[in-house]
Amino acid sequence: MIQVEQVTHSFNGHKALNNLSFHVEPGECFGLLGPNGAGKSTLINILVTLLQPDSGSVTINGWPLATQQAKIRGVIGVLFQDSSLDERLTAYENLYFHAMFYHVPPREAAQRIAALLEMVGLADRSHDLVITFSGGMKRRLEIARSILHRPQVLLLDEATVGLDPQARRFIWDHIAELRRTYQLTVLLTTHYLEEAEICDRIAILDHGAVIACDSPTRLKEIHRQDTLDDLFIHLTGRSLQDSETGELERLKATLQVRRIK
């Protein structure tokens, strides 16, 4: 379903992706793990057609990214880390405008919206403004929106960041139901290692390249590690949580310097 072959991409002379290669099978749940700066966000931006790689090739559903971007956009659904809902609109209106963007006929759109709002537990809030929703409710609405046009591939970029454990579990239960119902292929990035455990396979990225790829269980067996966190430390020299914390501390330090100036 997704084929990435020797993809390289640079920003200002820095290689964000370095001859990156992997593939995702139809119906598979595939996870990408890596510290900040490993290239995950760059890769996601390429997969959603916002960037073209400097070299290498990407195909989705058999279509080359270089020449078939419009077709690829039609078969992917995306849930980014930052919310892109219009909080001035109701839940129903957000979904309706998405349906119109993907040319879903109005009558069919209404049926799909009703079914999806019911599925994500927001049917009774369909005509409420999104600004009144909690973070977990917004995420559920974004899940409904991301599959409203019935994509074949769902891309989840840090989809549950900032949510409490209960809300995260609710989200992943819905995604599991979507996989069963629509035979979705799912590619996700996450820094919650318990979420990576649900993946059929994971790829660990570091410095823009895949350094390990297999099922979570198989990787732990191969490298004789008890947990994914142990595995991550073994392969990269640091824990995934430490890498996220370090990035946050660097950001805080930068903001403090700017305040002083």
CATH number, position 122: 3.40.50.300
Q: What local confidence, expressed as pLDDT, does residue 257 receive?
A: 42
Per the CB < 8 A criterion, the answer to whether 248 and 191 are in contact is no
State percent of the chain over pLDDT 90: 64
φ/ψ of residue 12, rounded to 5:
50, 45
Tokens 């109005």 label which residue? 106
Domains held by the chain: number:
1
pLDDT tens digit sequence for 55-92: 999 999 999 999 999 999 999 999 887 888 999 999 99
Instruction: At 185, list the tokens.
Output: 């292929």
The neighbour count for residue 168, using CB atoms within 10 Å, is 20
Q: Which residues pair with 87 in a beta bridge?
A: none
One-letter amino acid at 168 equals R
pLDDT class for 247, splitting at 50, 70, 90? very low
DSSP sequence for 78-132: EE-SS----TTSBHHHHHHHHHHHTT--HHHHHHHHHHHHHHTT-GGGTTSBGGG
Q: Which domain holds residue 37?
A: 2-260
Q: Pick 227 or 163 by higher pLDDT.
A: 227
Residues near 227 by Cβ (< 8 Å), separated by ≥ 6? 193, 220
Per the CB < 8 A criterion, the answer to whether 200 and 215 are in contact is yes
pLDDT class for 122, splitting at 50, 70, 90? very high
State percent of the chain over pLDDT 70: 92
Average pLDDT over residues 9-24: 92
The candidate with the shortest Cα–Cα distance to 35, out of 211, 247, 253, is: 247
> Rg of the Cα trace of the chain?
19
The candidate with the shortest Cα–Cα distance to 26, out of 150, 143, 147, 183, is: 183
DSSP sequence for the chain: -EEEEEEEEEETTEEEEEEEEEEE-TT-EEEEE--TTSSHHHHHHHHTTS---SEEEEEETTEETTT-HHHHHHHEEEE-SS----TTSBHHHHHHHHHHHTT--HHHHHHHHHHHHHHTT-GGGTTSBGGGS-HHHHHHHHHHHHTTT--SEEEEESTTTT--HHHHHHHHHHHHHHHHHH--EEEEE-S-HHHHTTSSEEEEEETTEEEEEE-HHHHHHHTT-SSHHHHHHHHHSS-HHHHHHHHHHHHHHHHHHHHH-
Q: What local confidence, expressed as pLDDT, does residue 242 receive?
A: 59
Per the CB < 8 A criterion, the answer to whether 123 and 117 are in contact is yes
Residues near 138 by Cβ (< 8 Å), separated by ≥ 6? 83, 85, 130
pLDDT at residue 53 is higher than 90: yes
Q: What local confidence, expressed as pLDDT, does residue 255 receive?
A: 40
Q: What local confidence, expressed as pLDDT, does residue 216 receive?
A: 95
